[in-house]
Amino acid sequence: MKNKLLFACSILLFFSENTFGQGAYIPYNRDYYHLIERFEILEGKNNPIFHTGFKPFRRDQVASYLDTLATGNLIQSNVDRFNLNYLSNDNWEFIDRETENSKRPLLGGLYRKPSDFFHYRDSIFDFHINPVIYLSGGMEPNQENFRMRNSRGVEFRGSIDRKVSFYTYFTTTQTIFPSWVKDYVEQNGAVPGEGFWKRYEGEGYGYFSAMGHVNFNISKSIQAQFGHDRNFVGEGYRSLIISDFSNPYVFVKLNTKIWKFNLTNLWSQKTADVTYDFAGRPTDDRYPQKWFSHHRLGINIGKNLNVGVFESVMKNEFDWNYLNPLIFYRWVEHQLGTPDKVMLGTDLKWNFTPGMQLYGQFVLDEFVFGEFFGIDGPNSIRNKHALQAGYKYINAFKVSNLDLQLEYNQVRPYTYQEKFENQSFTNYRTPLAHPLGANFREAVAIVRYQPVPRLFTNMTMLYQYFGDDPSEDVNFGKNVLKNRMSPNTGIGLFGNVIGQGVENRVLLANLNLSYMIRQNVFLDLSQTFRTRTAEDLDSPANTSFTQLSLRVNMIRNDFNY
C-alpha cells in the first residue's frame, strides 16, 4: 500500500503543469552549512530567501542568497570573500554573477569549472558529475589493527527543462572504526548513518551507501521533493526533533513558503527493526517497516526572530489520515482510537544582535498536567520531554572568522520510547534524534577558526552525563529501542531522574585541521581524546585517536558521541 501511495504522489507532482525552475538540495554538511549560516548571523537578521530551521537547503535558493550578499557591504575580510566565492562556485549554475572558470582544465573538457569533474549545460539539460573519495588512516593506542576508511563512489546532479532537478550519490566503503564507535555498532547492530553492512577484516565493516532525490515546484510557493536522504531540524549541532544520525530513508516532502510563513510537510517510511544471522550480521529478510509524518510551521517575527512549531507521529502501519498536510495529528489519533506515537514542540532562533544568535528546541513526548508539574508526584515516568539551548558568536571578540558555539541538551528518561511495537523514534536501530537516545545531559562547545582562506580549524568539546541499563532486560530509559512498559522498567511511576541506572560520564575533545587543496578536495588532520567513567568500570576508559584523511566531495567523519 505504501509503495503505491508514494508512487502516486511522485507521479502526481511530477506531471504538475505549473512548474518553475529550481535546483537540487545540497547534502547536509555541518562545515559547509556553517559557512552559509554565519553570514546570516553576522548580518543580524533572517535571510529573505529561505528559512534555515529545516535542512537541507536548495541550491538555487542558496545561490540567490549569495547574490544578495555580493551586492552588499557585509563581506569585509579576505577569508569571507574566499568563502563567498567558494560557495558561489559550488552552485555556479544558479549564480547571477560571473563565477570562476578553471585556469587549467584537464584534457580540455574536464574540470572546466572548479566544482565539476564534468558538466554539460544547454537550454534543456543540465548535468554535473563528480568523483567521491574518502581515504583515511589512523592510530589508536592498544588497538591491534590500523584504523582506516576507504570510500569510493560518484555523485551527479542536474535538471531537465529547468523544471525538474535531481541528485544521486553512491559509494562503497570498507572501514575500521575507533573503539568507541565499534562498541556502539556492536551494541546496536547498526552503523551510524548507514544501513545494511557486512564484516570486514574481522573488526571492520563494509557497506554500500546511496542517496537520491527528485525535486520540482508545484507552484511559485510550493516545492516538492521525493527521495532517499536524511533531514535535520533546528539550528544546533544536535537536533532533538529530527537529526542526520540515522540511515537515509524514503520520503515525500512539501515546502510551502508564503510571506513570513514556511510550512514543511514530511512523510516517510522507516525501518523498524533488522533481522540478524547467527554471527550478528544483518541478513536478507523482509524487515518490519513503520510510517512517520511530520509538519513544521515556521514564522519570521520581525527581522531577526524565527519560531517554529511542529508535530510528529510514528505509526506501525500506514494510515491515510496522516497524509493531511494541515490536520492536528493528536486529534486524528484520538478519532482513530489508536495509540500512535505523537510528539510536538517548538524551536526558535533569535539573531538578537549582529554576530550573535540564540537558538533552542523543546520537545514534548507525553503530557499529564498533574505529573508534569509535580502535583501528583515528582519525576513521573510519563514526564517525557527534551530541551536544547544554544548560543553562536560570529567573529568572536572581534577576531575575524573566529566563531564560537555553545550548546546544552537534555532528554528525560523514556523520551522517544513507546509501549507498542515499532513505534519508537528510531530508524534502522539508530535514534532519529540525538545519538545518545534519552536519559542524558550534554554540553557542547565548538570553536571554528579560519585564519587563512583555505585552512579550516574546528575544536569540538563535549561533556555527557547519562544513565545506562545494567543488562539487556532492564530498562532505565536510555535505549530508545526498548519498550517502556516492559516488566523491568525503571523504578516505577515516580522518582525517575536523568542519569538513573548505571551512571556514565564522557569527556571528548576533537581538533580537526582541514586544508582545501582545490574546490571540495580536503586534506584533514584530526586528534581526538576521549575518556569515560562509569559505575561499572574499575578505572576510567581513556583513549585517543589520530587520523589523516583525504576527502573529495565527501562530508567529514565525526565520531563525537
Q: Quick one: pLDDT at residue 438? A: 96
Helix boundaries (H) for 248-407:
329-336, 369-372
305-328 mean pLDDT: 89
Q: Does residue 215 contact residue 254 with C-beta atoms inside 8 Å?
A: no
- Percent of the chain at pLDDT above 90? 76
Looking at residue 5, what is its pLDDT?
Answer: 47
pLDDT tens-digit profile of 124-143?
Answer: 999 999 999 999 999 999 88
pLDDT higher than 70, residue 44: yes
Share of the chain above pLDDT 70, in %: 96
> What's the mean per-residue pLDDT of the chain?
91
Mean pLDDT of 7-34: 69
Cα separation, 256 vs 462, in Å, equals 36
Q: How confident is the model at residue 9 (pLDDT cuts 50, 70, 90)?
A: low
Peptide bond into 453 cis (omega under 30): no
Cβ–Cβ < 8 Å for 421, 409: no
pLDDT of the residue at 541: 93
Within its chain, how far is the Cα of 390 from the centroid? Answer: 17
Q: Residue 21: which pLDDT band, with cuts at 50, 70 and 90? A: low
| DSSP conformation letters of 31-54 | HHHHHHHHHHHHHTS--SS--SSE
pLDDT above 90 for 76: no
pLDDT at 165: 96
Q: Is the pLDDT of residue 430 over 80?
A: yes
- 325: cis peptide before it, omega within 30°? no
What pLDDT sits at residue 218? 92
On the question of pLDDT at 486 being above 90, the answer is no
Q: Could you give phi then psi for residue 304, rounded to 5 degrees? A: -130, 10
Per-residue confidence (pLDDT) for residue 144, from 0 to 100: 79
d(CA 252, CA 242): 15
Strand ranges (E), 180-304: 197-200, 204-217, 222-229, 232-233, 249-258, 261-271, 289-301
163-194 tens-digit pLDDT: 999 999 999 999 999 999 999 999 989 999 99
DSSP state of 16: -
pLDDT digits (tens, 9 = 90+) for 380-418: 888 999 999 999 999 999 999 999 999 999 999 999 998
Q: Which three cell numbers stand for residue 499?
A: 542519569
Predicted confidence (pLDDT) at residue 502 exceeds the cutoff of 90 = yes
